Amino acid sequence: MAKVVVVGSSNTDLVVRVDKLPEPGETVLGGEFMTAPGGKGANQAVAAARLGGEVVLIAKVGRDRFGDEAVDNFVREGIDTAYLYRDPELPSGVALILVGPEGRNMIAVAPGANSALSPEDVSRAEGAISSADVVLLQLEVPLETVEEAARIAKGHGVTVVLNPAPALELEDELLRTVDFLVPNEAEASAISGIRVTDAKSAQRAASELLERGAGGVVVTPGEEGAVLVTGEGSWHVEPPRVRAVDTTAAGDAFCGAFAFYLASRREPLEAVRFANVAAALSVTRMGAQPSIPTLKEVEEFILSSTCGSSP
């Protein structure tokens, strides 16, 4: 069984579809409204679990209705909640999401209890981290908490995958503990100082981050697919062509699938190809976690694509 420990955020997403994303100061009338479980940590944990991973989530929610619903959801998904903490004072995290044409979105997050996930909370879970195949991290919880999780995992020889979202300035010391850094084009640009607009510039940014200490880098520049750069070389993996409805959790589906495949003892390039498919399937549906595919769905898509391709 592929064992993945996810350290990160849990939010409730409040989503409105609009025909046009508003400009500053502009009010637009929306259409469909939905509430869905979200948060980068939670989304990535659900992605790995639906694909068949044995997943532990280290996160913090409030003692409120959203927190209760989050706990119930994780249990339904088969995620280990032994280290899902309940904050007695702070509310659960909430994300306000507008989804516009072609699935583009605007997101604002009120972190709530996510901001209180501490290094001490992570230290209490050292046993779970030490027995994992992969530890998967993001930046929607305090940076010192992320650093502690990476330090513990590195000390036990566990593969560390960091999705640096939202983008922050990262010290080289943290990058040296990361086996695979997985930024999108905006995050890669911010962290590397190299503007990423296509696969070639993604490769340059990834090479810069490799020089700063990351073991490997996977840049996901949207419709360009993914660019993998390691000490052994670089590869551009184009994505499957699908009709995008909502891109909200595409990066999370990618990261969860990538971590799951690495934990399954697959090669990084195989993991990128698999994750590309999971991400592509996710954008064909509305919502964050509701859009995340199962292993059966990914395998059936791969099989149908293979059968329908030209030799």
> Which one-letter amino acid corresponds to residue 256?
G
Question: Given the DSSP bridges, would you call strands 3-7 and 134-137 parallel, antiparallel or unpaired?
Answer: parallel
Q: How far apart are CA 191 and CA 127, in angstroms?
A: 31
Question: Given the DSSP bridges, would you call strands 159-162 and 11-18 parallel, antiparallel or unpaired?
Answer: unpaired
Active site residues: 252
